[in-house]
Amino acid sequence: MNTNFTPPVARHAPVLLAIVGLCALLETVFTLADTPFADFSVLRRTAMVYGAFWPGLLGGWDEVFPGQRFTMFLSHAFLHGGFLHMAFNMLILLGLGREAVLRLGQGGVLLLFVLSAVGGGAVYGLLSTSDAPMLGASGAVFGFFGASVYWNIQARRARGLSIEQPIRLTLGLVVMNVILWALVGGMLAWQAHLGGFITGALLARVVTPTPGHRHRVRSGTR
C-alpha cells in the first residue's frame, strides 16, 4: 500500500481545458458563420440575445425564456465579441490557471471561474448605466487575477517580504483598464473586471487562508 502524497505538478486541470475548449468552439462557429461564404450572422446575434448579460433584465425587461435574468450571470462568460477577444481571454486564463490548479484543484478552479463570472455580472449590473449587452470571460479571468494577487501577497507576507510587487501588478491592471476603456470609447466592461477581481480574491482568502492550504493529490493505492 502506497500512502504517499504525489508532489504537486503545475498542469492545467481538465475542467479548465474544457472551459477554454467550449469558448473556443463557440467563437469558432460564430466566426465561421459570420463569413460571406456562410452568411449566417444571425447565429451570433441569437446567441447574444439568449446568453449575453442584459442589464435591462434586472430593471423590468421581459425575458426571452424563463430564468434568463439568472442564467445570464454565467452564460455571458462563454460568449465573446470576436475571435481575438476570445483568444486573449483564454490565453490569460490558461496562464493564470496553473497556480489555481495547484491551490484549488479541479473543483476549486471551476468554482473560481463560475463565482468570478457571476460576481463580475453582479457588479456590472449594479454599476453600469448602459443597457448594452455585456459578454466575455474577462470577469472570470479577473477572478483568477484576484486570486493570484492574493496568493502572491500571502506568500510574501509569510516570508517577511514586501508586498510592493503585487500592489504594483494591481495598479497596472487598473491602468490597463483605463487605457483600454479610452481606446474603445468606453465600451469596456470594467465593472465586470472589478467584480471578478474582488470575487476571486475573496474566494482565495476563504478557501486558502494560509500558504499551506493547497489541493493535494494522493497516489494510487495498491
Residue 217 has φ and ψ, to the nearest 5°, of -115, 120
Distances (CA, A) of 179 to 91, 182, 183: 20, 5, 6
Catalytic residue among 75, 80, 148, 193: 193
In this prediction, residue 167 carries a pLDDT of 95
Dihedral in degrees, nearest 10, Cα atoms 214, 218, 219, 222: 170
The angle, 0 to 180 degrees and rounded to 10, between the axes of the packed helices 68-75 and 42-51 is: 110
Task: Give catalytic status of residue 85 as yes or no.
Answer: no
Here the cell at position 13 is 486541470
Q: Are 117 and 139 in contact (CB under 8 A)?
A: yes
Domains of the chain are: 5-218 (1.20.1540.10)
In this prediction, residue 11 carries a pLDDT of 57
Confidence of residue 127 (pLDDT cuts 50, 70, 90): very high
In this prediction, residue 39 carries a pLDDT of 81
Catalytic residue among 75, 116, 138, 148: 138
Q: What is the mean pLDDT of the chain?
A: 91
Nearest to 11 by CA among 181, 217, 159, 198: 217
> Would the pTM count as exceeding 0.95?
no
- Kindly report which listed range (7-11, 32-36, 122-126, 212-216) carries the lowest average pLDDT score: 7-11
What's the mean pLDDT in 54-60?
94
Residue 9 CA neighbour count, 13 Å, CB half: 8
Summarised one tens digit per residue, pLDDT across range 70-92 is 999 999 999 999 999 999 999 99
